[in-house]
Amino acid sequence: MTKAIQIAIDGPAAAGKSTIAKIVAEKLGYIYIDTGAMYRAITLKALNEGINLGSNEEAGALLVKTEIDLIPVEGGQKVLLDGKDVSEEIRSQHVTKAVSQMAAHELVRKRMVELQQKLAEDRGVVMDGRDIGTHVLPGAALKVFMSATVEERARRRFEENKKRDILTPLVELQEEIAMRDKMDSEREVAPLKQAQDAVFLDTTPLTIAEAAEAILKLAQERLMA
């Protein structure tokens, strides 16, 4: 395979985007970029510094003095915030509950999109998020909008949390996921929505292997085109 393409995977919380994106990137020898991790990292810093999460200006000013790096490692990526590994910390409920408010700011999104586009320049890439097909990589050769029922997504996140000793009740997780989807879909700047030319994939009845296979098949078709 000589040609390399850009693959954009968007969808609501806990649909399986990052799990599948990692597998697809590994199979194709592409880099994987988890854009949600970048929004989580700046949210962690905002919480630590006590800035007003509702202020676009304060959020923008914070970003200017912040360095976020995504380092590819085996099986995924490491997230560095001002040089410190925060890969685990950014998954806490504390950050999860605040991230959609921070990600709604125009100044935050502008800077993140610039960084993401730079990371994807001239290479085979699988990038997952909420606005990748619509704003970050509008020319991506393959766009997938991945979803699953909110019940199934909450169940999956519950199982994942258990392995990390996070014991948030299922019903609370489902509420948090539904609230975040609503905020992400209703914000003014680059809301979560399916790009016109994206393929819709409902992963509710699929295993991880089946969902990855479906996307790899679409990628092969684009690579042959």
Ligand X SMILES: Nc1ncnc2c1ncn2[C@@H]1O[C@H](COP(=O)(O)OP(=O)(O)O)[C@@H](O)[C@H]1O
- State which residue, 6 or 147, has the beta carbon closest to ligand X: 147
Beta bridge mates, 145: 10, 200
Sheet with 84-85: strands ordered across: 68-73, 76-81, 84-85
- Does 130 bind ligand CDP (CB under 6 A)? Our answer is yes
76 binds ligand CDP (CB under 6 A): no
Pick the piece of the chain touching ligand X (CB under 6 A) from 97-105, 165-173, 186-194, 203-211: 203-211
Q: Kindly tell me which residue out of 6, 35, 134, 174 binds ligand CDP, with binding defined by CB under 6 A.
A: 35
* CB of 42 or CB of 146, closer to ligand X: 146
Q: How far is CA 94 from CA 40, 122, 156, in A?
A: 10, 36, 19
b/e 123-138 (16+ beta carbons within 10 angstroms → b): ebbbbbbbbbbbbbbe
Query: Can you give the C-alpha Rg of the chain in angstroms?
Result: 17
Our measurement of the distance from residue 83's CA atom to the centroid of its chain's CA atoms, rounded to an integer in Å, reads 21
Task: Report if residue 7 touches ligand X, rule: CB under 6 A.
Answer: no
- Under the binding rule (CB under 6 A), the answer on residue 16 touching ligand CDP is no
Smallest distance, ligand CDP to C-beta of residue 220, A? 25
Please tell me whether residue 39 binds ligand CDP under the rule CB under 6 A. yes
* Binding partner at 76 among ligand X, ligand CDP, none, C-beta below 5 to 8 Å by kind: none
Q: Is 211 one of the binding residues for ligand X (CB under 6 A)?
A: yes
Are the beta carbons of 107 and 57 closer than 8 angstroms? yes
Provide the residue count of the chain.
225
Instruction: Give the SS3 label for residue 6.
Output: strand
Of 22 and 107, nearer to ligand X (C-beta) is 22
What is the largest distance, in Å, between two alpha-carbon atoms of the chain?
Answer: 51
Q: Which stretch binds ligand X (CB under 6 A): 11-19, 61-69, 114-122, 135-143?
A: 11-19
Query: Residue ranges of the alpha helices (H) in 74-207?
Result: 93-102, 106-120, 150-163, 170-186
The one of ligand X, ligand CDP, none whose footprint includes residue 130, by CB under 5 to 8 A per kind, is: ligand CDP
Q: Give me the residues that bind ligand CDP (CB under 6 A), please.
A: 13-14, 35-36, 39-40, 99-100, 103, 129-132, 180, 184
Q: Give me the residues that bind ligand X (CB under 6 A), please.
A: 11, 13-19, 156-157, 160, 203, 206-208, 211
Which residue ranges make up the annotated binding site for ATP?
Answer: 11-19
